[in-house]
């Protein structure tokens, strides 16, 4: 069995060592752009993260392509360079769900318990009690209720917060008020105090966090984006924060990363910025999952995580 591996990660050897330990019979080849020898190697599988188009262009040998992450927008952007009829398989979770739940819970609780405001008071040496928000009115709405969204919802429910979700198709989840489709979006937004974006980035969801959408949230609502920078109309969020309609935001993803130093988000104290670290792919969780799926495919079995190219996730 031959496997092509590609990642811009600086720790490629650790990945290779992990795969070799669990699948010693496989021949792993690291693909490097411009390496004609590597480009000519036939392979059964490809394990990739943000690959260049040249890696996949014209290949007819692959049985499956494994994406080293839950988000597949980067690989789907390759379009016609992707081999037709070759399944693209994303990671189901691989340790990202609990990280995402930790990040979002922290951001929600920081806003709910008014720690941002206390931090501002501290900078001017003020000692002033701020009345707490009423928990029953502090509804958290999650845009996108896939594997990661469900983990976020479960974590927030532990704090006895009202949780609602919105998805393209109908869902039914215990303890969560579920909305779906275009008709359900407005109702979902109107009752959401903290909006969490956990959607996949597709042509339908790009710029979904624009003025029109965010204006439908109650005045004083808060935004958390842990999905993709392409979901957010950045200038429109900034205008809504400055007008007071949006109280603030915690943003982990941006259209341009690293966030340019001249970007106005840096100068807005009501926006918390983190460098795309809400959830990282964990090697020790990812490698056994991918190896298990390769072995299942070799036995002719179906596997989870196959991407619907038309839907975009």
Q: Cis ω on the peptide bond leading into residue 118 (within 30° of 0)?
A: no
DSSP 132: P
Please give the torsion angle defined by the CA atoms of residues 286, 258, 309 and 79, in that order, rounded to the nearest 10 degrees: -120
Residue 123 burial by Cβ neighbours in a 10 Å radius (0-12, 13-18, 19+): exposed
247 contact partners, CB below 8 Å, separation of at least 6: 111, 220, 221, 222, 241, 270
Q: Which of 90, 164, 193, 228 is catalytic?
A: 228
Q: CA dist 190 to 105, 187, 194, 207, 224, Å?
A: 21, 5, 11, 19, 16
Question: 283-298 and 12-22 helices cross at what angle (nearest 10)?
Answer: 50
Per the annotation, the verdict on 270 as an active-site residue is no
Q: Which of 2, 59, 276, 309 is catalytic?
A: 276
Three-class SS of 134-168: CHHHCCEEEECCCHHHHHHHHHHHCCCCCEEEEEC
Cβ 33 vs Cβ 57: under 8 Å: no
Per the annotation, the verdict on 276 as an active-site residue is yes
Residue among 73, 70, 104 at smallest CA distance from 251: 104
Q: Which residues are catalytic?
A: 228, 276
């Amino acid at each position: 069995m031959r496997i092509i591996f590609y990642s811009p990660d600086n720790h490629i050897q650790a990945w290779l060592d992990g795969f070799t330990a669990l699948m010693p019979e496989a021949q792993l080849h690291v693909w490097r752009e411009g390496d004609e020898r590597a480009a000519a190697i036939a392979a059964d599988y490809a394990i990739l993260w943000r690959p260049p188009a040249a890696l996949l262009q014209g290949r007819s040998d692959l049985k499956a392509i494994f994406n080293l992450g839950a988000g597949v927008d980067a690989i789907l952007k390759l379009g016609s360079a992707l081999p037709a009829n070759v399944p693209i398989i994303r990671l189901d979770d691989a340790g990202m769900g609990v990280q995402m739940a930790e990040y979002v819970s922290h951001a929600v609780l920081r806003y709910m318990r008014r720690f941002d405001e206390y931090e501002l008071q501290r900078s001017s040496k003020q000692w002033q009690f701020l009345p707490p928000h009423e928990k029953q009115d502090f509804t958290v709405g999650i845009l996108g209720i896939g594997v990661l969204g469900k983990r976020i919802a479960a974590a927030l429910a532990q704090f006895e917060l009202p949780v609602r979700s919105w998805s393209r198709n109908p869902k039914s989840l215990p303890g969560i008020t579920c909305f779906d489709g275009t008709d359900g979006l407005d109702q979902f937004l109107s009752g959401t105090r903290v909006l969490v974006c956990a959607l996949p980035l597709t042509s339908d969801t790009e710029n979904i966090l624009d003025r029109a959408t965010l204006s439908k949230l109650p005045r004083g609502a808060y935004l958390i984006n842990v999905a993709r920078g392409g979901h957010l109309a950045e200038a429109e969020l900034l205008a809504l924060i400055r007008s007071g309609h949006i109280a603030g935001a915690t943003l982990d993803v941006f259209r341009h990363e690293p966030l340019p130093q001249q970007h106005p988000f840096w100068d807005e104290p009501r926006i918390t910025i983190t460098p795309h670290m809400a959830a990282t792919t964990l090697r020790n969780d990812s490698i056994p999952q991918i190896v298990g799926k390769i072995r299942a495919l070799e036995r002719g079995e179906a596997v989870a995580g196959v991407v619907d190219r038309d839907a975009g996730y």
